Amino acid sequence: MDILFKSFIDHFSTNQQLTELTKVEICNHLSILNLNKKHILIKENQKHDFAYFVIRGAVRSYYLKDGIEVNTWFALENDIVGSLQNFQDKPSRETIQIIENSTLISINLKQIKPLMLSYIEIANFVNAIITDYALFLEDKVYFSQMMSSMDKYLILLEKEPQLFQRIPLTYIASFLGISRETLSRLRAKKIL
């Protein structure tokens, strides 16, 4: 078993013991992707058969509003990225793009979903992935809807300072709901 696949499986099976046969079956539906910056993983309003686990790199999600990109979240190492809409065989509501050269594990949803009906271990494993992704999204929704732009900025600064080194400031400003100029002024005040 590839060491990256093993790391991925171990990450999502901490609360369960998977048999070797189950691990092999899961690995049959995984692949490693090395993608360049600006690569589009998932396009808004299109169906997609894969979800991804970030081994190395950075990813963003955005949608277009009146022709303007509105960033909704960023993902780094050990994060799952994808669209729950795609898991239900519906078009994605957002575009997901690579923003650093990245290594990802792709999970073929179309192939693994039928196995969930036959293998309880695989169903539990996929459930752990979906739960992790749902919690990730819930945090992002709370973050974006329940806080002022300044509060969001201060929390990002405290909890995810690496984003300011890795994510273009234009994307961060969009995520915070402020202009790039306002973000530059905040940074100039040495709050950062």
pLDDT tens column, 38-69? 999 999 999 999 999 999 999 999 999 999 99
Q: Is 10 exposed, middle or buried (0-12, 13-18, 19+ CB in 10 A)?
A: exposed
Residue 68: strand pairing partners? 65
Q: Report residue 11 as tokens.
A: 């990450």
Structural domain containing residue 74: 3-146
Task: Indicate if 139 and 172 belong to the same structural domain.
Answer: no
Residue 191's pLDDT band (cuts 50, 70, 90):
low
Task: Indicate if 137 and 192 belong to the same structural domain.
Answer: no
Lowest mean pLDDT among 3-17, 54-68, 88-102: 3-17
Domain count, the chain: 2
Task: Indicate if 114 and 91 belong to the same structural domain.
Answer: yes
Task: Indicate if 56 and 96 belong to the same structural domain.
Answer: yes
Residue 169 burial (CB count, 10 A):
13
Ordered strands of the 80-81 beta sheet: 30-35, 102-108, 50-56, 80-81
Task: Indicate if 45 and 117 belong to the same structural domain.
Answer: yes
Task: Indicate if 115 and 170 belong to the same structural domain.
Answer: no
Q: Report residue 97 as tokens.
A: 């793009």
- Does the pLDDT value for residue 192 go beyond 50? no
Task: Indicate if 57 and 142 belong to the same structural domain.
Answer: yes
Task: Indicate if 76 and 170 belong to the same structural domain.
Answer: no
> Of 129, 146, 163, which closes a domain?
146
Share of the chain above pLDDT 90, in %: 66
Task: Indicate if 65 and 107 belong to the same structural domain.
Answer: yes
Task: Indicate if 117 and 79 belong to the same structural domain.
Answer: yes
CATH code of the domain in which 140 resides? 2.60.120.10
Task: Indicate if 44 and 77 belong to the same structural domain.
Answer: yes
Task: Indicate if 115 and 171 belong to the same structural domain.
Answer: no
